[in-house]
Amino acid sequence: MRGIGRLLGERRAVRTLKYAAGIGMKAALIAGLLLTGGSYGTAEAAVPKLEQIRVALFIDTGKYSDTAPAVTLSSGAGLALSLRDSGGAVHTAAAKELVRVYADGYYAQLPDTADAAQAKAQAQKLAAAGKDAGIVQRTKRGQPAYQVYLGPYPTKEAASAAAASQAGAVLTGPLRLSAGSYSGAAEAQAQAAAIAQAGFDADVAQLTAGSAGAPAYAVLVGGAADAAALQAQRTQLAAALPGVALTPVDAAQQGYVLQRSELAVTADAAEAARGFVFGGPVKLWAAPAVADASASAGIVVRERGGRAYRGGIELTRHNGKLAVINELPLEDYLYSVVSSELTKDWPLEALKAQAVAARTYALKQGVKYQIAHVADTTIDQAYKGLTAEFPAALQAVQATNGEVLLYKNALIDPLFYSNAGGKTSESTEVWGNKVDYLKSVTSPDEGAGAGKKPWYRIVLPNGNTGYIHSDYARATGQLNPAGLEFYVSTGTDVSVRSAPYADNAANPALFKVNIGDRFVVIDQVTESNAYAWVRGPIDAAKLRDKLASALPAGANAATIDRLEISKRGPSGRALEVTANGQPLKAAYPDALRTLLGGLPSTLFEIEETGRYTILGTGGATRNPSASSTSVYVASGSGATMERNEPQLFVMDGDGNVRIVTKSQQYIFKGTGLGHGLGMSQWGARGYAELGYDYQKILQTYYVGVSVVKG
């Protein structure tokens, strides 16, 4: 489910990701359309046809970058690797055999070692430090030689910096020499073995282009980062092997695929793999070796969290980096999208609604990523491959086969997200422009909080405060002088957090309690979820630093003394927030979420801990700031005492307790997860449970649209 993965502790694959900062979910894709008003023609419906969709698993387009230096593939049905343009076979791997593929580039190569264990330990240490490490296994002068390397890197400068960081490492690169061309692999392998016997690196390469009748194989030697280094290698090779003719390889014209034995290295293991390094104009195609096996076995991509994928995998170079594209039938792709966006306990009609929206979205994109239609992340639609699929999702896709959403005979932008918080947005509340089919409607989203347990806001004797899961706190039946009940911890090393949810990255432990530690509970809330949530508190000075670029010119205050929602839209979402009375500069209303530290939605309230209200005689009220006014407490005997603690606990007439702090802090309490435009996934579930069919669900969230079979 979009966004909900973070709440469930989903682990995402480590990757470089840059794209339209501040635009959440699918905003970046359609912000331009909304900001210009869009174009919804009245011509006859023209639903584009797309039999095969291309999904970018790794790619760099300039605007979008999600890259890996190499990928490790396998299949339970065996894996066939071939040259896509010519169809020439490259290798057939056995079931679950690892195949490591990368585009030739620049490397930091460590000194050879004859000790396999040493090489593995060295590479694993580098991998544990986040380095892209590999090991080539060779035989030189009749002895084993293991070469640990970092890379490949797309530039000489990046590889040079990596080499400088490792003792004894040298810079190598993609400039190579051909030591002969051959019509058969066996002849090439014999020549490579002879060169290796002389102590040099030599690899058999399958050629991908050339004049008619040209040999299909070559032996490539060297591997230099620049022309001077290549010439030095040529001189050295020529002196040792005077009978071998050496010619530079023109990778721009002649594509090649090197084959060699490697180890696929993770932080804790190194496994045998068949390595393939391609250079020049090459497209490799990986598919299950057994016909019709893709649906059952799929192709596993280790660097994508070990997920398996239907269809085939294209590997090529794009914008100088490895591009990994999963190509498969559109309807097969939707099996995984519906399964990745929702879960198997969603009602079938909600799954059908998601299938139609996802199909419409995919068709609307065109070839968005230059050589791919969509990416596999929530920048577009979540797509976790065959691994994520469940039967009801397949049933939903098949039941809606070919159906799309049209408005005025054109495909819509079917925005969807996790949870509307009870009411969807008007289009003007998110990006500021009107789109006729995106109107604010009621959404039954409360189901996201069902079954969530309470969290207690606690205060320890030393004044430490935070939230603890109710499973780890037990009431004692004893009261403190204020009438609040004492609780004790029932666990060891139990985390107490700023907000009521577990996320060690976004909401780490403030401190921990152990069995028997005593505290009082001053509040109880449901665990933050996709429907209702709490974020903060955030210190005013830290908030000032976060908002520095969004503050109006001349706003040089050292802290934020007041933070208020000054304008709301039809659904209640914040359109404008002021800091110290001046509006924050936000490119569009939904950008307020990012400015304020990544809030789940703009449907929220702000609680200031440094401001409070005092009710005096005759009903008079004052609203002082704890930081600007001395606080005096009167006892039952009439004696008064000034209190200067950094925080005070104030109880109202109903026994409710709140914290007042000397330094201003802000707590955000809201509902919803996502921008709120279009279909709420939790709301679709709620409507399905109320008896709506998928067409009614879709036409509730996208006003005035038609569900049409393309």
Q: Cβ atoms within 10 A of the Cβ of 240, count? A: 12
CA–CA distance, 97 with 290 (Å, rounded to integer): 14
Per the CB < 8 A criterion, the answer to whether 51 and 328 are in contact is no
In the structure encoding, which two tokens stand for residue 458, read together?
């606690």
Burial of residue 568 (CB within 10 Å: 0-12, 13-18, 19+) is middle
The residues pairing with 583 across neighbouring beta strands, listed in sequence order, are 578
Over residues 689-710, the pLDDT tens digits come to 999 999 999 999 999 999 999 7
Residue 615 has pLDDT above 80, yes or no: no
At 36, phi and psi to the nearest 5? -105, 0
- Tens digit of each residue's pLDDT (9 = 90 or more) over 574-612: 999 999 999 999 999 999 999 999 999 999 999 998 766
User: Which tops the pLDDT comparison, 626 or 313?
Assistant: 313
DSSP assignment of 333-347, as one string? Answer: HHHHHHHHHS-TTS-
What is the average per-residue pLDDT within 256-269? 92
Higher local confidence (pLDDT), 546 or 391: 391
Mean pLDDT for the chain overall: 87
Task: For 478, list phi and psi in degrees, rounded to 5.
Answer: -95, 145
- Do residues 680 and 701 touch, judged by C-beta distance below 8 A? yes
List, for residues 481-509, the tens digit of each pLDDT value: 888 899 999 999 999 999 999 999 999 99
Q: Which of the pair, 294 or 30, is modelled with greater confidence?
A: 294
Percent of the chain with pLDDT over 90: 74
- pLDDT grade for 318, boundaries at 50, 70 and 90: very high
pLDDT tens per residue across span 66-95: 999 999 999 999 999 999 987 789 999 999
Model pLDDT, residue 35? 33
CA dihedral 10, 16, 17, 22 (to 10 degrees): 90
Amino acid at 553: A
DSSP conformation letters of 154-198: SSHHHHHHHHHTSTT-EEE-SEEEEEEEESSHHHHHHHHHHHHHT
Q: How far apart are CA 41 and CA 54, in angstroms?
A: 27
**Under a CB-based contact definition with an 8 Å cutoff, are residues 561 and 578 in contact?**
no
Query: For residues 211 and 51, which has the higher predicted lDDT (pLDDT)?
Result: 51
- Cβ within 8 Å of residue 489, ≥6 positions away: 468, 472, 473, 513, 514, 515, 516, 517, 519
Cα separation, 11 vs 3, in Å, equals 12
Residues 156-171: tens digit of each pLDDT: 999 999 999 999 999 9
Structure tokens at 655: 């026994």
Distance CA 276, CA 274 (A): 7
**Strand 270-279 versus strand 283-288 pairing type:** unpaired
User: Helix, strand, coil proportions of the chain in percent (round to 5)?
Assistant: 20, 35, 45
Mean pLDDT value across residues 236-242? 93
CA quadruple 177, 179, 185, 191: dihedral, nearest 10 = -130
Confidence bin at 647 (pLDDT 50/70/90): low
From CA 297, how far away is CA 292, in angstroms rounded? 9
DSSP E strand stretches across 631-705:
631-634, 640-643, 647-651, 657-661, 665-671, 679-680
CA distance 231 to 605: 68
By three-state DSSP, how is residue 611 classified?
A: strand
DSSP category for residue 211? S
What per-residue confidence (pLDDT) applies to 254? 85
What does the block give as tokens for 437?
A: 């089919």
- Dig out the tokens for 210 from the structure: 């050339």
Where does the pLDDT of residue 624 fall: very low under 50, low under 70, confident under 90, or very high at 90 and above?
low
Tell me the CB-side half-sphere exposure of residue 401, using CA atoms within 13 A.
Answer: 7
Residue pair 57/380 in contact by the 8 Å Cβ criterion: no
Q: What is the pTM of this model?
A: 0.86
β-pairing verdict for 574-579 and 563-568: antiparallel
- Strands (DSSP E) contained in 361-502 are 374-375, 403-407, 410-411, 416-417, 454-459, 465-469, 473-479, 485-489, 494-497
**CA–CA separation, 216 vs 220, rounded Å?**
13
In b/e form, how buried is each residue of 618-644, taking b as 16+ CB within 10 angstroms?
eeeeeeeebeeeebeeeeeeeeeeeee
Question: 549 pLDDT band (50/70/90 cuts)?
Answer: confident
- The beta strand positions in 460-560, using DSSP E, are 465-469, 473-479, 485-489, 494-497, 509-513, 518-526, 532-539
d(CA 269, CA 284): 27
Q: Which of 33-42, 269-278, 301-310, 534-543 has the lowest mean pLDDT?
A: 33-42
pLDDT at site 14: 30
**Closest Cα to residue 659, out of 650, 671, 667?**
650
Read off the pLDDT of each residue in 670-681 and give the average, rounded to a whole number: 97
pLDDT at position 363 over 50: yes
